Structure 1
């Protein structure tokens, strides 16, 4: 598979429509391409919404119904919109921090009232030796996630999976562990589920091996 074709397979991989062999080759590509890894993460909320739609689809919809040819373009447009929204949130956060610094402790105290929306959990798996920490913050669209992980058993492609209280699973972020590098790595991602809908987070390899579980608060 040529490099350009591999880049174009991001959406198909995130939606789970690649064959087993194609998915295996794409996961090899993920280990060497941080750009595709970031794009796979950004498709997570879209994938979640499609899964929710599938669950709520009435039985009379034909089981062999196929997405239209413009579906991929719409998904790419959705990711682009999310990019722009993330940039706006960064600008607003910076502006808010300037206001807090200028106004003083009174505003800072008021802002601290939002702390209940943030959670930090961490765990180390005795079998794999992998340590991970997850910081979450509720957003309108779901949950913003920051992952820190130490994994000295690379190289291997890994995923952070959010497991809902209803059993639903969503890939929050993906990365490639370097060769025998146990230094701390930090990744950011997002889930379409809100914090109170998530039961736990699991770090898994691309082939499904469980590395560590972090119970949500």
Structure 2
């Protein structure tokens, strides 16, 4: 990653307000950064909803941005971006994107799992970031409860371990968590999700579930991962 690229540029990239040299640099950065790719997927719904909205004049002030329509908020966002481009990018952009979501009347933005994403940005995989991460690695196969199968792909990061999970053979409704267990027995929740009644990787709903998350420990400090229901049942265990 060059000095011109910040991880927090993902909000500006999603809304299409980066200048061309920064946009090109960030496109190259996305190819090697799963976390930014995941954030971009989450913001793609906002970006799509705002497509075609043009800027207004410069007579508006920041103070009453919350009372304006989507076009005015986008115009304000563009002006602020130009003024702050030497500062840390993205924090204001992502916050403004959230504000636009509210004033536009409840635009839904969510993380893609198991192919249930909305529109896919041009130049990116049709899979969600969790599935892409799983497909790009060598899975560790888990031991599951009756009918449950799955595995994990682990990626060592400077901040810890990125984990991508594939899970099959589960029916809902359930609430589940992926939990990392250290070699000393300490437990940390990596990510959580809900399983709808139709389930994943079962008759009538054959597609598996893909989710991903991170834990602060490196792989050497992890004994295993467990997929557990909030009721305390263990669905899958993956030894590291």
* TM-score between the two structures when normalised by the length of structure 2: 0.41
Q: Larger C-alpha radius of gyration, 1 or 2?
A: 2
Higher helix share: 1
Higher relative contact order (CA 8 A, sep 6+): 1
TM-score by length of 1: 0.46
